[in-house]
Amino acid sequence: MSRIVSGSRPLLELTDITVSFDGFLALRDLNLSLRPGELRAVIGPNGAGKTTFLDVITGKVAPSSGGVLFKGRSLVGIPEHRIARLGIGRKFQSPRVFEDLTVQNNLALAVSRSKQPWTLLFGRISAEQRDQVHHLMNIVNLQPRADWRAGALSHGQKQWLEIAMLVGQDPDLLLVDEPVAGLTDEETDLTADLLKSLAGDHTVLVIEHDMEFIRRLESPVTVLHQGHVLCEGSMDQVQQDPRVIEVYLGTKEDDAQ
């Protein structure tokens, strides 16, 4: 698995994506590209299409028109599990872990390289993968909870478990949807550091509402509004942009649609 694809060619490229739900345009003509190793934050008011945009990349929703290229390969029409195997991992908005499995087993499923029934049935987990599971549990402080049912964890612990699962999957592109919702300030800072340390080796795209958190990421920011990109730039630039202020504070009547 080659981490950094040659030079400046984008790892992920979305061109003119439009998604329509029965006439309602969740995304319209959305363009976005991510360089390998980049850390990117995406913000936008509620209903801006942030989650739909992740749905399109991960294959959950097929775009009505437009293209998605990942490592130069089109993702449109490919089922979710294949996209995941190509190297795109996703953390959901509200934490989704397998509640009836233990923390350890949740991670073991994530780190397992082969996802085929026969190998899981006949093969055993390798020592290396076992170490990886323990390493991940240490990072997110879940070692003492290794044999707990994931459903018994607190909200914050589930968030972290899911992030650990995402990292364990070792994708080239990490899509992280609201990773710090419901976390304490301290946990939020740790999450920001974790994501920053992942960037470089991995490409990371973070969706978040928490502006302080975004600021801490020190990354370029993309603002989505009503299904398309409003502006891009550093956090400071974006916050100065009159359009962004208007969208968030709603001073003028919006006539975009």
Interface contacts to other proteins, rule CB under 8 A: 21-22, 26, 51-52, 55, 58, 60-61, 79-81, 84-85, 89-90, 92, 96-101, 105, 108-110, 112, 115-117, 120-121, 124-125, 140-141, 144-145, 147, 152, 154, 156-157, 160, 165, 169, 184, 186-187, 190
Tell the smallest beta-carbon distance from residue 127 to other proteins (Å). Answer: 15
Given the complex with other proteins, which of 32 and 103 has the nearer CB atom?
103
Given the complex with other proteins, which of 193 and 218 has the nearer CB atom?
193
Given the complex with other proteins, which of 186 and 253 has the nearer CB atom?
186
Given the complex with other proteins, which of 69 and 84 has the nearer CB atom?
84
| 5 three-state secondary structure | coil
Tell the smallest beta-carbon distance from residue 221 to other proteins (Å). Answer: 24
State phi, psi for 81 to the nearest 5 degrees: -65, -30
Given the complex with other proteins, which of 95 and 220 has the nearer CB atom?
95
Given the complex with other proteins, which of 156 and 200 has the nearer CB atom?
156
- What are the angstrom distances between the C-alpha of 225 and each of 160, 197, 217? 29, 29, 21
Please report, as a single letter, which amino acid is at residue 149: R
**Computed from CA positions of residues 128, 98, 198, 155, in that sequence, does the dihedral angle turn out positive or negative?**
negative
Find tokens 């964890």 and name the residue. 153
Tell the smallest beta-carbon distance from residue 8 to other proteins (Å). Answer: 28
Q: 230, 201, 219: which is closest to 32 by C-alpha?
A: 230
**Count of CB atoms situated within 10 Å of the CB of 122:** 7
Q: Distance between CA 209 and CA 64 in Å, rounded?
A: 27
Where do the DSSP E strands lie in 85-201? 88-91, 173-177
Q: What DSSP string runs through 114-125?
A: ---HHHHHH---
Given the complex with other proteins, which of 21 and 73 has the nearer CB atom?
21
Tell the smallest beta-carbon distance from residue 99 to other proteins (Å). Answer: 5
Tell the smallest beta-carbon distance from residue 229 to other proteins (Å). Answer: 19
**Count of CB atoms situated within 10 Å of the CB of 40:** 21
Q: Distance between CA 129 and CA 193 in Å, rounded?
A: 24
Provide the token pair at 225.
């509004």
Tell the smallest beta-carbon distance from residue 38 to other proteins (Å). Answer: 21
Tell the smallest beta-carbon distance from residue 109 to other proteins (Å). Answer: 6
